[in-house]
Amino acid sequence: MPFTPSRTLITGASSGIGAGFARTFAARGSDLVLVARREDRLRELAAELTARHGIRAQVLPADLAEPDAGRLLIEQVDGEVDLLVNNAGFATHGPLAESDAARIENEIDVDVRALVSLTRAFLPGMIARRSGAIVNLASTASFQPLPGMAVYGAAKAFVRTFSEAVWQEARPHGVKVFALSPGPTRTEFFDVVGTESAAVGTMRDVDQVIATALRALDSRRTPPGVVDGRANALVAWSTRLVPRRILIPMTARMLG
């Protein structure tokens, strides 16, 4: 049976996978709360989906890298949220010792701190209602250390294991929580990273990633995590079979 939330909050909703989620759930009749830094894009998307599907869309411009951004965002949300999609995130590329310290801190704030803050904020209401779902965007980057993208790989590993643990805590209460792990996807992600060398794995489209998420959401037995694409899933899980002293240098070479 299709999972049809009354209200969906999506971070990083201005483009890519976030915008894909917005279009998908608007088509299912869900009202939206759209969160991203780029207010103009959010308003364009909100207008498009309101006109096309007759839903209501609240636009909340926010930079989740800012201190207390998660808490301030929560205070602005009007009403209950039945589906939370923690999609906002970005990566940095290069040796840690040569990286900009402030940029690294922002990466952790967006990819980890804000995600935990929003999950903690909306989960109790879902548990009380005994319904709802949280989708946390991890990555196939989470399955092995990433020399050259050390913070991003570690952040996504946190997201994946955090989501798996909360899956167990939430499921007795009728709430779905899982980590969605795409491989390289055709979005603006690599423009932000600044290099295509980070695109390791089978390239996929946003619609394919969304379809993977929907299969998990619509299932009666939603798993704690899913990887998008069979080839990406095979590579992700095969990393468990390779000794770390071999896997880490091999990954470093692949990332350039």
227 lies in some domain: yes
- Please report, in tens digits, the pLDDT of each residue of the chain (256 residues total): 799 999 999 999 999 999 999 999 999 999 999 999 999 999 999 999 999 999 999 999 999 988 788 788 888 998 899 999 999 999 999 999 999 999 999 999 999 999 999 999 999 999 999 999 999 999 999 999 999 999 999 999 999 999 999 999 999 999 999 999 999 887 665 555 445 555 566 788 999 999 999 999 999 999 999 999 999 999 898 888 888 888 888 888 887 7
Backbone angles phi, psi at 34, to 5 degrees: -105, 125
Give the number of domains in the chain.
1
What is the reported pLDDT for 62? Answer: 93
Distance CA 166, CA 182 (A): 20
What is the reported pLDDT for 201? Answer: 63
175 lies in some domain: yes
105 lies in some domain: yes
How many of the other CB atoms lie within 10 Å of CB of 91? 22
Distances 9 to 15, 82, 152, 234 between C-alpha atoms, Å: 14, 8, 23, 31
CATH number at residue 197: 3.40.50.720
177 lies in some domain: yes
What is the reported pLDDT for 128? Answer: 97
Domain of residue 225, residue span:
7-254
Beta bridge partner(s), residue 9: 33, 84
Q: Give which of 169, 172, 202 is closest to 185, Cα–Cα.
A: 202
Active-site residue flag, 152: yes
Tokens of 56: 């209501």
Tokens of 2: 């299709």
State the angle between helix axes of 69-76 and 114-129 in degrees (0 to 180), rounded to the nearest 10.
40
Q: Could you tell me which residues come within 8 angstroms of residue 166 by beta carbon, excluding any fewer than 6 positions away?
A: 119, 123, 134, 177
193 lies in some domain: yes
1 lies in some domain: no
Distance CA 9, CA 121 (A): 12
98 lies in some domain: yes
2 lies in some domain: no
Among residues 21, 122, 143, 152, the one annotated as catalytic is 152
